Amino acid sequence: MAKGTIRLADVAKAAGVSQGTASNVFNRPEVVREEVREHVLETAKRLGYAGPSLTGRLLRAGKVNAIGVAALEPLAYFFDDPWARALLAAVSQVCDASGTGLALVSAKDRHKLDWNIKSALVDGFILLCVEGGEKLVQLTRERQLPFIALALNDDDPAISSISVDNLEGAAVAARHLAELGHRRFAVLATELSDDHLGPVGIGEIERAIYSTSRNRALGYWHALEAFGISRQEVPIYETSNDKPSVEAGLDFLFSAPEPPTAILAMSDNIALLAINWLRARSLSVPEDVSVIGFDGVPEGGMVEPGLTTMAQPFAEIAQRAVRAVLDDAMPAEREVIGVTLVVRGSTAAPRQ
């Protein structure tokens, strides 16, 4: 099965037509006389021609018809992290519909990622700025291709980005629980700053470098204060969105003299881990403890009890992001999209 050394030119010559005609047979068949077309096609088959080489074609066209999704994370991140997964599922949906290819571009190592971004055959990038967003943006800039940043922790209006309304979303989440009657809250946070885990104070929140997490915290506070709950009363524990740190956080929070009846988790991932932990301690959800997540990943609907959460409109985000990249039509600077409360079984009024 020697890889075809047969070129379009060979087919053209063998069929006794010009290269231009041969090209048309494959690209605009309607323009060439049926008789000729069939003859060329037949010749091509006889020669074992594999069809116009993509590289030759795209060199001419200048378009790859594919977009890259990039993150400063190990490649497996795309398949492990629920949020990334949900987002990618949505993106692939959109790509599918528009016949656009999807390439995964990622590396935990900055230098490697740089190389990967430089050598990805794509027309543009969607950046998952979970971590090191600015670096990612910077790396991508050099490539001089359209790109759009998702969940970027940076307010630079020169970078086109789409993110969700963390402030308002968090407020709605906290309000939901407060209205159910909860008064003792605790927050399990996603990363606020690099290289830190554990309980965090008020000042640290305000100075947190990751604005996604910061805004969620501020949203919680804002809503709770309307119910007379001061921010001092709400312990916040910073996790790295994985099992060990979330469990450490729960150990910490539930060793307090008055453990919380309501947990505000900054991601569904954290919330799901928390529910597992609580269950293993025979604390029932939602009877003993209510848990609310953030993101709206599909897994939240598949566990028992279902996870109450603030759902991101993944489909819409994906739609806009892909369009923006493909049309090189950066949206009006920073776009902020709302999230909606989805009430399932993991939240209820506290016990009497």
Partner DNA sequence: TCCTTGCTTTGAATCGATTCAATATTGATC
Partner DNA sequence: GATCAATATTGAATCGATTCAAAGCAAGGA
Residues interacting with a second copy, by CB under 8 A? 1, 3-4, 48, 50-51, 54-56, 58-59, 62, 64-66, 74-76, 78-80, 85-86, 88-90, 92-93, 95-96, 99, 101-107, 112, 115-116, 118-121, 142-145, 243, 276, 279-280, 298, 302-304, 328
Q: What is the 3-state secondary structure (H, E, C) of 16-31?
A: CCCHHHHHHHHHCHHH
Closest CA to 302 of 272, 270, 339, 341: 272
CB-wise, 276 or 319, nearer to a second copy?
276
The verdict on 121 binding DNA (CB under 7 A) reads: no
- Look up residue 120 and give its amino acid: A
The verdict on 31 binding DNA (CB under 7 A) reads: yes
CB-wise, 51 or 244, nearer to DNA?
51
Identify any residues that bridge with 336 across adjacent strands, giving them in sequence order.
Answer: 163
Q: Which stretch binds DNA (CB under 7 A): 21-29, 106-114, 241-249, 323-331?
A: 21-29
How many Å apart are CA 35 and CA 32, to the nearest integer?
8
How many Å apart are CA 271 and CA 156, to the nearest integer?
31
How many Å apart are CA 255 and CA 15, to the nearest integer?
82
Pick from 45, 61, 287, 340 the residue near DNA by CB under 7 A.
Answer: 61
How many Å apart are CA 214 and CA 312, to the nearest integer?
18
Closest distance of CB 337 from a second copy, Å: 20
- Cα radius of gyration (the chain): 26
Closest distance of CB 328 from a second copy, Å: 8
How many Å apart are CA 32 and CA 22, to the nearest integer?
9
CB-wise, 30 or 304, nearer to DNA?
30
Closest distance of CB 20 from DNA, Å: 2
- Look up residue 211 and give its amino acid: S
Integer distance in angstroms from the first to the last C-alpha of the chain? 75
Pick from 1, 2, 14, 36 the residue near DNA by CB under 7 A.
Answer: 36
Q: Which stretch binds DNA (CB under 7 A): 51-59, 104-112, 257-265, 299-307?
A: 51-59
DSSP 130: T
The verdict on 65 binding DNA (CB under 7 A) reads: no
Residues in touch with DNA (CB under 7 A) = 5, 7-9, 16-21, 23-24, 26-27, 31-33, 35-37, 51-53, 55-57, 59-62
